[in-house]
Amino acid sequence: MEDDTDKPFRSRKVPSSRAARIGTFGRLAGGLAGGVLAEGARRLARGERPRLRDVMLTPGNAMRLADRLSHLRGAAMKLGQMISMDAGDMLPPELAQILARVREQADRMPPAQLRDVLDTQWGTGWLAGFASFNPRPIAAASIGQVHRAVSKDGRELAIKVQYPGVRQSIDADVDNVATLLRVSGLLPAELDISSLLEEAKRQLHEEADYLREGEEMMRYRARLDGHPDFVVPALAPEFSTDLVLAMDYLPGKPVEVLETMAQDERDRVTGMVIALVLRELFEFGVMQTDPNFANYRYQPDTGKLVLLDFGATRAVAPQVVETYRRLFAAGLDEDRASVRKAAVEAGFIGPGVLDGHGERLDRMIGIIVSEMNRPGPFDFDDRAFVSVLREEGMEMAADRATWHIPPVEALFVQRKISGTALLGARLKAQVDVREMVRPYAHPGGPEAG
């Protein structure tokens, strides 16, 4: 974790009451509606027939949406981040731009609101329990912000403080964001996402439970004890509550600093992350499912990655593990029919695709299998095939009969895999992924030894 206290940030009080949060959503809806009317009038004056999608996705409305989600923080902001990381390269460019702003922009609590939260959690006079406590946060995210402190015995700490009202607002925030996306035309009204929304609420409630996160962090620390490539902070239980998570402060820089480093170092670190994801899926049976780049911090002096944020840690169902093993095995064997069969049986592909777009589906599978088996390291910077897949996918999505939500228990694993691929692309890494996957796809085979 790097100290970012010298960087500029915006301080705005988090709306913590139900009425205040509903009011913020109401102002957002009103602002979007006003922007729609103004843009529609301009287009009509030019003799154009405006479409709702076009007038909603103006730069002004994009800024309104990103600004209000960042102000609300909590589930409203987190859901935007989740959609952004889940979909990766497959998002429409307009929505990707909006959600990128939400990922990068988080307001901080004003000092008075921070003090109120800590008075509630630690009691008044808590400052006397520290040698130092910096009220200016070093990081801020969707659910909480992080402060540096030093305990009386000299232990350097990172203390994550949850925004007030976040936990109580999760269900309503998720529903309100989904409504905004539907109203904007970015989310088709006919697509039933109820199961996805319920799962998002469940996971967000887990992420807002800092006692649970502390336990998951310590379990993960035990799994990687002595690992040469990764380091996980230790919990400081005497300062931790269900709304405050205290841990070791571990120095590190944003993982994006690797973009300027030598190719071999970018390849090495990306390979480390891929290897860890494979272990999570096939060995641990437990995965930290949030692939946000901020959850990795790079230590230039040691070459290690600091792993942070274990609120999204969850068990991986055995049937999901088997699904990925079968998909990887069929892909490595260049057995396109088996890839298709495994994807259908896992629920990744719905009946509408099979009925109306079988040939298009087979072309997409062929592209993926060919890329997977290209000789030599996989070049994450070679994105030509992604645009082809996006075009094929958009053509398919134009047919409403293809709209389908895969099983939620697999979606969160796919979220981590997709986010890891985005990191590889960001670092322009070249990694022999095929050989890393092979022992898990064919366990016990000659290549696994």
Residue 369's pLDDT band (boundaries 50, 70, 90)?
very high
Could you give the C-alpha distances from 373 to 107, 271, 330, 403, 435, in angstroms and in order?
A: 44, 17, 11, 29, 10
Bridge-based pairing state of the strands 230-231 and 305-307: parallel
**Hey, what CATH topology would domain 110-162+209-250 get?**
Phosphorylase Kinase; domain 1 (3.30.200)
Residues 229 and 306: their CA atoms lie apart, in Å, by 9
Say how many CA atoms lie within 13 Å of 363 toward its Cβ: 15
Question: In the prediction, which pLDDT does 25 show?
Answer: 42
Question: In the prediction, which pLDDT does 349 show?
Answer: 83
Q: Among the ranges 172-186, 382-396, 418-432, which has the highest mean pLDDT value? A: 418-432
Arithmetic mean of pLDDT, 188-212: 81
Sequence-distant (6+) residues with CB within 8 A of 77 are 69, 70, 102, 106, 142
The neighbour count for residue 46, using CB atoms within 10 Å, is: 8
Whether residue 436 contacts residue 275, with contact meaning beta carbons closer than 8 Å, is answered with yes
Tokens of 276: 């860890």
Question: Can you give the residue ranges of every domain in the chain?
Answer: 18-107+172-187, 110-162+209-250, 254-449
Q: Give the rounded distance of the alpha carbon of 183 from its chain centre.
A: 24
Element spanning 405, H or E: none
Bridge-based pairing state of the strands 156-162 and 378-379: unpaired
The pLDDT tens digits of the residues spanning 133-169 come to 999 999 877 788 999 999 999 999 999 999 888 888 7
More confident residue, 291 or 41: 291
Question: In the prediction, which pLDDT does 379 show?
Answer: 93
Q: What are phi and psi of 223, to 5 degrees?
A: -60, -35
The pLDDT tens digits of the residues spanning 89-118 come to 444 555 555 555 554 555 678 889 999 999
Based on the residue annotation, tell me whether 290 is a catalytic residue of this protein.
Answer: yes
Residues 122 and 244: their CA atoms lie apart, in Å, by 9
Say which of 67, 290, 355, 381 is annotated catalytic: 290
Nearest 5°: the CA angle 270, 325, 344 is: 115
Whether residue 68 contacts residue 107, with contact meaning beta carbons closer than 8 Å, is answered with no
Tell me the one-letter amino acid at 440. Answer: Y
